[in-house]
Homo-oligomer: A and B are copies of this chain.
Amino acid sequence: MKQPIFLDNAATTRTDREVIEAMSPWLDENYGSPATLYTLGAQSKQAIEEARQQVGDLIGADSKDVYFTSGATESNNWAIKGVADAREEQGRHIITSVAEHHSILMPCKFLEKKGWEVTWLPVDGEGVVDPGSVASVIRDDTVLVTLAHANHEIGTIQPVADIARITRERGVAFHVNAAQGVGHVPLDVQELGCDLLSLSAHKFYGPKGAGALYARRGTRITPLIHGGAQEKKRRAGTQNVAGIVGLGKAAELARRNLEAEAKRLTGLRDYLMESIEGKFEDIRLNGHRTNRLPNNVNYSIEGIEGESIMLSLSYPTADDARPVYISTGSACVSGTLEPSHILLALGVPAELAHGSVRVTMSRETNREDIDYLVKALYEVTERLRSMSPVYKRGSKKCATGSAEGCDCEAAS
């Protein structure tokens, strides 16, 4: 098999060589439990505290406010259920949006079943939550607002700081799921003004199985995982020392190259969008054109299934072809035939939502990869469309998906 091109970095990323090297002794010789006082344990504890500092530095947080978890899904569950539990007597109302990740959506639905009220804010056609809408639905019994910093499917970045000014004024805890943004764009909890923030190592070249929840001092939150005294009694269980060291190292590495890499990827992203829009007919950009993650591109391609595109790119038939790995819908629900709830939330019609592809780049991605993708994607699209019983060329010519609208539809 020819070397694949991996363009599904919102799902996971290749662990950095330096991260693996940093982890290695903690998988091996340095196996002491950080809860113990002898040398072998004390050095594990010290390694964890260094990682805490590295993570704190990456997000502008006091490291004392960083708690290690098994990943962003756990962090999101903890933030939502933990604040709900701790503030239950103040009220049982939570605010989120209809376009969140399943690890936000499902804990909120769980709480709904338990009698909490959840307000599901709409997003606009580009996936943005209006801060004014947050202000208008906060009530006296609202205890938490939880929103993504950047959407995992369409890459749209939310006006977090604007929303934080509102929640702070109203005394409502504000949790930000920043799993997609941390390590990829500059992100500072002081500037954002949020009270809680989730992150995951494997989304920025760290290992799977390690993440963190930032919880600003004074934020009332009940543990999700009770037990021993680890993580200042807030998250029990022997820490995953190697994973945490890997997370710390990934944070350090990300911080070192953050702005330059974000700039490079933004250039590559815009080049990809230009290439696609110059070549394809009947497509729709999903998400905001500029206010989106530097590595994210998402299009709906009319008349065909995203799943078919993804599989055709992954398993090319030509001997000399390189597999290209992208995703369709959300990686977590791949394999289901439900259209993405996020695209539906943008107002994308179900049949078009089915034909969506997400391309998410990494620091390994270069211009040649993008050229290869565009060519392969075009060939696959042409082939699938030629077999499609539903596709009619020119039914939608506007490639911009812009909220401002355009007049090209009339020209078809």
Chain A positions within 8 Å of B, measured between CB atoms, are: 1, 4, 6, 8, 11-15, 20, 23, 27-28, 31-33, 35-41, 70-74, 76-77, 101-107, 109-110, 200, 202, 207-210, 222-230, 236-243, 310-311, 314-315, 323, 325, 327, 330-336
A229 neighbours in B (Cβ, 8 Å): 102, 332-333, 335-336
A333 to B330, CA, bound (A): 42
- Chain B proximity of A77: nearest CB distance (Å): 5
A183 to B38, CA, bound (A): 25
A77–B331 touching, CB < 8 Å: no
**Cβ-neighbour of A33 out of B15, B311, B331 (below 8 A):** B331
A15–B31 touching, CB < 8 Å: yes
Sample of 14 further A-B pairs with CB below 8 A, known A23-B27, A105-B227: A31-B202, A36-B331, A37-B314, A37-B335, A38-B311, A41-B325, A74-B225, A102-B227, A202-B238, A209-B209, A209-B243, A210-B240, A229-B333, A230-B332
A20 to B71, CA, bound (A): 21
Interface centre among A210, A243, A311 (most CB of B within 10 A): A243
A59 to B325, CA, bound (A): 37
A228 to B238, CA, bound (A): 25
Known: A23-B27, A237-B70, A238-B71. A38 touches B314 (CB 8 A): yes
The quantity of this chain's copies bound in the complex is 2
Across the A-B interface, give the 8 residue pairs with the lowest CB-CB distance, nearest first.
Answer: A209-B240, A228-B332, A73-B237, A103-B227, A38-B314, A106-B226, A70-B70, A12-B33
B27–A20 touching, CB < 8 Å: yes
A105 neighbours in B (Cβ, 8 Å): 227
A107–B77 touching, CB < 8 Å: no
Known: A238-B208, A334-B36. A103 touches B226 (CB 8 A): yes
A227–B38 touching, CB < 8 Å: no
Known: A6-B40, A73-B237, A224-B224. A35 touches B334 (CB 8 A): yes
A223 to B242, CA, bound (A): 26
A323 to B42, CA, bound (A): 14
A110 neighbours in B (Cβ, 8 Å): 222-223, 226
17 contacts between A and B (CB under 8 A): A12-B32, A12-B238, A15-B27, A36-B334, A38-B314, A38-B323, A39-B314, A39-B323, A71-B237, A77-B225, A77-B236, A102-B228, A103-B226, A106-B236, A208-B240, A228-B330, A243-B243
Known: A74-B225, A226-B107. A36 touches B209 (CB 8 A): no
Interface centre among A23, A109, A209, A330 (most CB of B within 10 A): A209
A70–B102 touching, CB < 8 Å: no
A295 to B246, CA, bound (A): 32
A314 neighbours in B (Cβ, 8 Å): 37-39
A239 to B202, CA, bound (A): 11
Interface centre among A11, A23, A76 (most CB of B within 10 A): A11
A208–B242 touching, CB < 8 Å: yes
B37–A310 touching, CB < 8 Å: yes
Known: A4-B39, A15-B27, A230-B332. A103 touches B236 (CB 8 A): yes
- Chain B proximity of A100: nearest CB distance (Å): 10
A210 neighbours in B (Cβ, 8 Å): 209, 240
Specify the chain B residue showing the minimal Cβ separation from A313. Answer: B38
- Chain B proximity of A213: nearest CB distance (Å): 13
A355 to B207, CA, bound (A): 41
A73–B107 touching, CB < 8 Å: no
A37 neighbours in B (Cβ, 8 Å): 310-311, 314, 334-335
A225 to B332, CA, bound (A): 14
A323 neighbours in B (Cβ, 8 Å): 38-39
- Chain B proximity of A223: nearest CB distance (Å): 8
- Chain B proximity of A220: nearest CB distance (Å): 15
A107 to B227, CA, bound (A): 7
